[in-house]
Structure 1
Amino acid sequence: MPRIHNGNQLLKGRHSEPGRIYLLTTVTEQRRPIFRDFYLGRLLVNQLRQAHDEGIVHSIAWVVMPDHCHWLIELRRKTLGELMCRIKSRSSVAVNQTAQSRARLWQKGYHDRALRREEDLKATARYIIKNPIRAQLTTRIGDYPLWDACWV
């Protein structure tokens, strides 16, 4: 998986194209395992689903890991920056209200990768949803609660 860089470095050469498929990855501040708490993880999931339901993206697959999130989308409206700002700010508010915290939730920036070949789509989705197995959080993806894919 690509390395997550400083937020300013990630802005260089970034291009948002409606209709393009992107793999987005964002990491919690200091890689704190905030989403080990299922209920806090669901707050992030609610924001991913809301962006889908509002037609900003078509969600293809996602997984919320304890300290990061992978999200495979087709961008429909807005730029990647606007989308991620929205997801991060709204999930931060929800998590901090629930946890009665004022801590910074997310690291600056995010990583995006545009997919180029149709066969990359399913392979990338499989990579995403198998993250909990590779991290030894579960032995079966069906037992991990914070993931989804449009094919399921």
Structure 2
Amino acid sequence: MRPPLKSHRLRIARVSEPGRIYLLTAVTWNRAPVFRDIHVARIACRVCHQPNAWTNATCLAWVFMPDHWHGLVELHEGDLSRTVARFKAMVSSAIKRKTGRNYPVWQRTFHDRALRQDDDVKDAARYIVANPLRAGLVDRVGDYPYWNATWL
């Protein structure tokens, strides 16, 4: 018998709790720097702002890095995996429609961490939007264009 795939292990303990806030990471296919392309990054940002991308959740903060996306998402109802799959599919479709890209944008899985009740949500948002600074992409968070947070 084959050992379980890594993606399967990511889903084993995944629980979707309405009202819970999750720190999410979705990685591009083969870690390709898809969002380094300004046009593609802008397309993805527009999708992230669309209300229909988050029909059963609220995206509180997010950042598109060259080869991944981080988000802070509050789940209102339904399944977290389906919520993330919907968002990723919308980003992929928009990119394919506007650029003609015909190969995958995302890895199949994603990483999630549920925030505890005593975790500071704004600290988690600051952590997310400061990612480009820590990665050395910019000298100031405000210099990086591909992020947003509801507190602005």
Which TM-score applies when normalising by structure 1? 0.88
- For the residue of structure 1 that corresponds to 2:24, the secondary structure is strand
Residue 17 of structure 1 corresponds to which residue in structure 2? 17
- The count of residues paired between Structure 1 and Structure 2 equals 148
Residue 138 of structure 1 corresponds to which residue in structure 2? 138
Do 1:6 and 1:108's aligned partners in 2 also have CA atoms closer than 8 Å?
Answer: no
Do 2:53 and 2:90's aligned partners in 1 also have CA atoms closer than 8 Å?
Answer: no
C-alpha distance in 2 between matches for 1:52 and 1:59: 11
Residue 128 of structure 1 corresponds to which residue in structure 2? 128
The structure whose Rg is larger is: 2
Residue 70 of structure 2 corresponds to which residue in structure 1? 70
Q: Please, what is the CA RMSD of the aligned residues? A: 1.8
Structure 1 residue ranges (4+ consecutive) displaced by more than 4 angstroms after TM superposition: 51-55
Deviation for aligned residue 1:38 = 2.2
Specify every segment of 5 or more residues in structure 1 that has no aligned partner in the other structure, as ranges: none
Specify every segment of 5 or more residues in structure 2 that has no aligned partner in the other structure, as ranges: none
Do 2:57 and 2:75's aligned partners in 1 also have CA atoms closer than 8 Å?
Answer: yes
Which TM-score applies when normalising by structure 2? 0.88
C-alpha distance in 2 between matches for 1:66 and 1:130: 14
C-alpha distance in 2 between matches for 1:85 and 1:69: 13
Output aligned runs, 1:66-145, within 5 Å.
66-145=66-145
Shift in alpha-carbon separation, 1:118–1:149, aligned structure 2, 3 A: farther
Moved more, 76-85 or 59-68: 76-85
